[in-house]
Structure 1
């Protein structure tokens, strides 16, 4: 049986790492900070549109959470690859 609480909790923990990595990058300033801020906003808008589309097509909240976790994992990988 699927437990949405666990997936949501894991998403929250994983997202905290991305927030930390982004804040460090922004704190250093420069062109990388500017680029990170722009990508942060565009990624959030894109993810929200994708989530809304999934729900409108009959997708479940579980699918949306799983996809958000993929986005978070990709960001963690990108931000730690420096």
Structure 2
């Protein structure tokens, strides 16, 4: 959640910590999927790489063009939020 004010950087730290924990669960779920092998593992590997490239490109463009605003802590929080959205969607998909 983007914030202005004195605690913006502290809030960003919490958002990043949460993203790290959620990412760890996705890594575990993906590892199990890849370890099973077969066509599904190949599709997952392709999806993983293409998603990372697309998201990194989108976030970089928004940061460079002011799409996240011009207040550093707010822009950083919105960038972390973009990644968090993708991670949560992957966790949901891989948990089925």
TM-score range, shorter chain: over 0.9
Pairwise CA distance, 1:40? 0.4
Shift of 1:61: 1.1
| Alignment partners' CA distance in 1, 2:65 and 2:78 | 12
Confirm whether residue 77 of structure 1 aligns to residue 95 of structure 2: no
Match of 2:77 in 1: 62
Q: How does 1:27-42 map to 2 (within 5 A)?
A: 27-42=35-50
Q: Between Structure 1 and Structure 2, how many residues are aligned?
A: 81
| CA distance in structure 2 between the aligned counterparts of 1:52 and 1:7, rounded to whole angstroms | 19
Unpaired segments of 5 or more residues in structure 2? 1-6, 69-74
Residues in 2 aligned to 1:71 and 1:57: alpha-carbon distance in whole angstroms: 21
State the distance in 2 between where 1:16 and 1:50 align.
22
TM-score of the superposed pair, with normalisation by structure 2 = 0.81
Q: CA RMSD in A?
A: 0.8
Runs of 4+ with >2 A deviation:
none
Structure 1: 5+ residue stretches without partners: none
Alignment of 1:5 with 2:20, yes or no, is no
> Computing the radius of gyration over CA atoms, which structure comes out larger, 1 or 2?
2
Scaled by the length of structure 1, what TM-score is found?
0.94
Distance 1:48 1:57 in 2: 14
